[in-house]
Chain A
């Protein structure tokens, strides 16, 4: 038999001005199952809460309904109050008498009647409520970071410095990512490698970080606190324990004309290679697609010259299983190639290059050792045109968004060019200069005013070759669309930043959302910018959208804090308002018929298959099971269930039907 306590709050005069609170309490005392009913001026105040606690103890209340402000305001307060008096906190319900009644209606009989029926509705619900206990999930205090660019490096270091174990995986042979390819960084013009490589070394040497390069995520199972991941360690064909990184193998490799990824295709590398001199780890791998041995079956020159016998051909990929509690995704971005732009030469003019390629030209470690030289003939270009928004902000190209970093790096490129080629002329075609950021606008002004970079507002319509020159045709929209034609020696396209190769597949593996551009989606674009919709998986860097280094680093530190915060708890405590599949006595076990409609409905992939076996171990039937770590309690599965076997705690069918029936029969 229910013994329910009803507590009607006046909220000063907020409720009592239009609702006759005393009458509400009186009416409720007549309801079947209500053992105690009272009104009070401020229920949330200390004496108010004491009143509730005393009533619970004195009358042995089995449930409590509080008629007060919105449950979004004080549900937690009153649940705590009940818990302190020894009542299960989930046996407390709030009737919203303020926001949904007293504040929106005039004083009168109808308003008081509505208040009475709202409280009665919750009384009927409490009668059907079950005591619930919060869910405790153990946490594996080890994080997986996917992607070894600056975002992954920063996140790994921050988590590791909090004292937690980190596994960092990187698909390329070295960590460093795009930042390692950059020459100087805006707006300070400090050398990218100078600030990045010490961090790369720190990652490799950190006692809490396990680094796997040439490794990719194979699969993820489990949920927050307890993910089970499989990492594919791609065969490097070089035993890193034996290899000393002497480089003899690379110097002898006969395949010497493979375009270097690190130099964005401007330089070459060998089939057995270290991507760049400061690589971490500084040990080579064999690129099977270009290796004579793997393609034609003979060569093995590297094996012959290796002084430590470190080359190991034909070793398969290894699959490594690890348990982690949280995952940080920092897989970065990609840039469009020039062949995306037929109007700018379809990638057929060698001297039309991307911004990333210009970075390599300007970099002291690049193919020209920092001298700006044309890829076609090695001459120093005397006139250079930079085209901003190449692809970006162009719905016709399918990229309506702004790539964010191009305005700044184009200004930097023009500036670096002017610093290196004193008699050179540089032009920047732009739509708008978006230089939002600390010292950014000043930097662009400096390029224009001190270094004499000529900014032309307008789009480039066409680039074509004539007598060894690239003719850039565009319009100056500040001069009423006057046609502009520049005979340039080199054209640099600030091509759009796009999602990385394989981003979609990776997102599907991890069940995280992504947008139509295949950038990963945050749980909330403003208030939860480093979380995904899947609990325990976090994001940082340019895998979310094009970002500059400061934003990437702060995002990475933010994600690291989220991971550290998660790991600071001994157990993961979650609200028990989640779905459950019913179980009953044999031979039925569960009314679930195994149609798994719930599985198709669930946005969180929280539905698992559970096999019910007899004593011989034979499977009798397969039923749905909810993973409490993944379920967020939306209840979509409940409405989908054909056999009414799944229900959501706190909003069960029984409770909701009781509410509706009560509401209409008073």
Chain B
């Protein structure tokens, strides 16, 4: 990487589906396309499985940015999970705005199993964007919110 020591290294978590994006990221590897080390992948069966509380949990634990990526519309292995994820994201981003989370810190994307290069680009772009936004220090607000939610359960 071309960044120097003093540069901010964001922590980014990627929530991806097993069938498209995880396989796409595998293809990035098989194609030996290089990308930044900042993004770490958590595998889900489907983007429809991704409870957006997990995104808050990630912020609460110090994530500077998040990627959510699954199959392209109509390509979902489970028919419609990605549509549910998309709808959830549309509703969730407004809630994030209300609690004061900068929605630019979440990148929502589709990467198919054939789009290894796209995954590399997506990672590098996201890292560059988050680096520009700087470290995410307001997460304590979210943490408090999540804690309150947890206690209510």
Contacts and interface: CB of A to CB of B under 8 A. Distances in A.
Interface of A: 70-72, 96, 98-101, 103-106, 110-111, 113-114, 117-118, 121, 513, 533, 577, 601, 603-604, 632-636, 638-640, 644, 648, 650-651, 653, 656-657, 659-661, 663-665
B29 A100 contact: yes
Nearest to A656: B54
Contacts of B35: 104-105
Contacts of B51: 638-639, 653, 656
Contacts of A644: 153
A659 B23 contact: no
A577 B45 contact: yes
A106 B54 contact: no
B81 A104 contact: no
B77 to A, nearest CB: 7
Contact of A100 (B9, B26, B44): B26
A661 B1 contact: no
Main DSSP-derived SS at the A contact region: helix
B49 A657 contact: no
B34 A635 contact: no
11 contacts: A70-B26, A72-B22, A72-B26, A96-B41, A100-B26, A101-B37, A104-B29, A121-B42, A603-B79, A635-B81, A639-B84
Contact of B32 (A70, A103, A114, A513): A103
Contacts of B104: none
Give the most central of B43, B50, B120: most A CB within 10 Å.
Answer: B43
Given A99-B26, A664-B13, A110 B1 contact: yes
Contacts of B28: 99, 104
A638 B54 CA distance: 12
B153 A664 contact: no
B6 to A, nearest CB: 15
A656 B42 contact: yes
Given A104-B34, A110-B37, A639 B52 contact: yes
Given A660-B42, A663-B13, A664-B61, 13 more contacts: A96-B26, A101-B37, A104-B32, A104-B33, A104-B35, A110-B37, A121-B42, A634-B49, A635-B44, A635-B46, A639-B48, A664-B58, A664-B62
B127 interface: no
B40 A118 contact: yes
What 9 pairs across the A-B complex have the smallest Cβ distances? A635-B49, A99-B29, A636-B48, A634-B78, A103-B29, A664-B61, A603-B79, A634-B46, A99-B26
A655 to B, nearest CB: 10
Contacts of A665: 61-62
A99 B88 CA distance: 30
B61 A660 contact: yes
Nearest to B30: A99
Contacts of A659: 42
Contacts of A111: 37
A660 B49 contact: no
B41 A100 contact: yes
Give the most central of A117, A636, A648, A663: most B CB within 10 Å.
Answer: A636
Interface string B1-31: 1000000010101000010001101111110
